[in-house]
A and B are shown apart, each in its own frame.
Chain A
Amino acid sequence: MTDRWREVYDREYPRLVRALLAIGRDPAAAEDAAQEAFVKAHRTGLDNIEKLPGWLLVVGSREVFRKAKRARREDELWASLPPRDDEFDTTADRVDLLAALGELPERQRTIVVARYYYGLSYDEIADHFDIKSGTVGATLHQAIERLRQVQLAGRLARGAVR
């Protein structure tokens, strides 16, 4: 039993923390939420959970938002990232994208991460987040459009796009 958990943990923990950090922007809160998600999964039992990755993401993101409401420290992490003049400007792009993600409403953030980072299908997202599968596509498109705008604004500001 321990070995099974170890395997699941080693496989799922790193990406869960990254996802929660992208969603919530607070490293300590992301770690805490990821640990809590695992504790809840452990209590529920592996055999009682279908599609564990999505389950962990849903539980973890709820935890992140619950904590974030208590202490808003939104811009700390990304503000501390230095401006870079990398050759291809990719780091800056990444920072912009992550910052833009943080501008989205909480629910959209989680759904975007679930779709593109976790690779969940529309049906799986509908299932996990308890929304109509018809609205998943529209929500995602809306969110991505917003990301695009914010990212473009960032690149313009740096003069990367003329």
Chain B
Amino acid sequence: MTDERRDDEIIGRALSRAIETIDVNQTPYERSRIATAPARRSIFGMWQVAGGVIAIVLAIAIGTWFTRPTDGQPGVGSSPTVSPAASSSFIAATPSPGVASPGQDRVWVYFARDQLPPVGAFVRGSFVNSSPESRIASRLTALGSAAAVSTGTSEVPAGATTALSLEASRGIAVRVQGDLATVEFNIPGGWGVRGAAQSQALVQQLVYTITEEPGIRRALITETGKPKATIDQLVVDKALTREDVSGYTSAAPDKIEDAGTGGLAEIVDWRASVDEVAAGLSRFVVELKTQSGAQGSATPRFVATLERPTQEKNTDDGKWILRVTLPDAVWNQAPGEAFHCCPLKAVGKTPIRQLAAYPLSADPPTGGAYRGVGFGVTLDDARPWRAFVLQNPLRLVIDIGGDPRATSDRIAVTTPKPGDRVPGGAQFAQTVRLAGAARVFEATVSWRVRDATGKVVATSNFNASLGSSAVWGTFDNSFAVPASVHGNITLEVFEASAKDGSDQGLVRIPLSVP
């Protein structure tokens, strides 16, 4: 080799090493275009997270998916806490579009969303007859057809996808026993899905759509001649509830209550939103005004419970009811009129099916002011939820769900969002806004930042507004990205156990810095 060639070789090798150190987004195979083409391509193209992180998270998600304990969820035996009179007025107010009746030309089915729980929507379809078995089959057939519509307006909601092929949705046999529906798929050509993400999406869609039938809470998916289903690498061999597949790693609490400090407060407003505050997050708010003479920072007494509905006659009865009662809340109206606080609104967006208000006392008041008001939030599934009391204006806020990656039983981060590109990579460490809610020991919220290799590059803690009370505290603080950290990072937020310092309620938020 000539000297010249050797010199070239040295530069060439240095260049090769330089290229090797470039930090790149390693889209894992499951999310590559060849694994997801063509149906899921659009949403998975956006993934900006290190392959290693995704692989680990996926492995954890799949590992815990079917084994997650569900004992924290309210059982069948939970009893309503309202008087029969109030309860019946709640149930009576239900003329809504989701009621299953034969001959209807649209049916409610579920679509998958990237990293979020499934979302329900109406698609074209009809019920042949009114037996539960037939209705379940009709919903699945309609869902399969939604994927096949190639022209005209898509029936798949924005931001969602479907993994159930037309072929797989044909030739379905359904058997119903109690709250269990066993659905046998005849799929000589396979399920038509590839990779963990698609398989999981399909199971989510199937379980949610099958259990849409009133009274059905568990779905067993099987293939012709077999007691189980094998969806690509995913083996489904037991009955699954919506909570088994929703993607949350912690269970929903069954009760949050607070004695409050404030005495009577008047209801001024109430509202609910789905996916507006953050993707996957639903928020229910009751705004109150303390009556003259009360303290400025008074808080309302409330009890919130997650219950099974007392009846499941039609789909809008939901699978769960979040009942929020405010015994000292006052609703003023003209004397002699029927209770008309907060008129019924069918929200109709997963997970909130509808909302209703009812008086806690069955007897109408003489002066027109009802004391004690309850709200019922009808839900599609039991996902983690939390309650806050905020001031200016005084309001009770119930948050339901959130991005599963940013949500645990004691931490819920709203900023930054998973996948965000945050400031960093500059010469000096950058502070980045970290906001959300927590219910942790002594209000101490801990965080750490890991670089693309998993090494901890920064860690610290700060205080939330409240500690381990029933009502959650909020925080709007910051975390630090050290200088010279580039590419993909993971922000971990958790409670450091008072006992042994271990991570409790850990959430992992994938982010990137320039």
Contacts and interface: CB of A to CB of B under 8 A. Distances in A.
Contacts of B427: 82-83
B16 A38 contact: no
A147 B11 CA distance: 8
A42 B13 CA distance: 31
A68 interface: no
A32 B24 CA distance: 12
Contacts of A30: 24
Interface stretch (A10-18, A58-66, A125-133, A153-161): A10-18
Interface in A142-158: 144-145, 147-148, 151
Given A22-B19, A83-B427, A113-B19, A148 B11 contact: yes
Interface string B425-447: 11100000000000000000000
Contact of B8 (A15, A32, A141): A141
Nearest to B483: A82
A29 interface: no
Most chain B beta carbons < 10 A, residue from A18, A41, A101: A18
Interface stretch (B25-33, B71-79, B148-156, B368-376): B25-33
B425 A80 contact: yes
A17 B24 CA distance: 7
For chain B, which range describes its interface: under 10, 10 to 19, 20 to 34, or 35 or more residues? Answer: 35 or more
B514 A80 contact: yes
Interface in A46-88: 80-84
A5 B24 contact: no
B91 interface: no
Contacts, number: 110
Interface in A91-132: 93-95, 97-98, 101, 112-113, 115-117
A38 B17 contact: no
Contacts of A113: 19
A113 B19 CA distance: 9
B43 interface: no
A10 B27 CA distance: 10
B22 A98 contact: yes
A97 B18 contact: yes
A96 B35 CA distance: 37
A27 B24 contact: yes
Contacts of B7: 144, 148
B32 A38 contact: yes
Contacts of A112: 12, 15
Given A22-B22, A116-B13, A117-B19, A5 B514 contact: no
Contact of A116 (B16, B35, B232, B484): B16
A24 to B, nearest CB: 12
Interface string B475-509: 00000000110100000000000000000000000
B131 interface: no
B15 A140 contact: no
A13 B426 CA distance: 28
A18 B194 contact: no
A84 B425 CA distance: 11
B24 A35 contact: no
B34 A38 contact: yes
B39 to A, nearest CB: 14
Contacts of B366: none
A97 B26 contact: no
B206 to A, nearest CB: 21
B14 interface: yes
B29 A9 contact: yes
Nearest to A10: B29
A58 B24 CA distance: 19
Contacts of B37: 39, 42
Given A2-B194, A97-B18, A115 B34 contact: no
B32 A35 contact: yes
Nearest to B37: A39
Contacts of B21: 94
A138 to B, nearest CB: 11
B22 A97 contact: no
B337 interface: no
Contact of A17 (B25, B483, B486): B25
5 contacts: A31-B27, A35-B33, A97-B15, A112-B12, A141-B8
Closest 5 CB pairs of A and B: A116-B12, A94-B18, A42-B34, A144-B8, A17-B24
Interface of B: 4-5, 7-8, 11-22, 24-27, 29, 32-35, 37, 45, 51, 194, 232, 425-427, 483-484, 486, 514
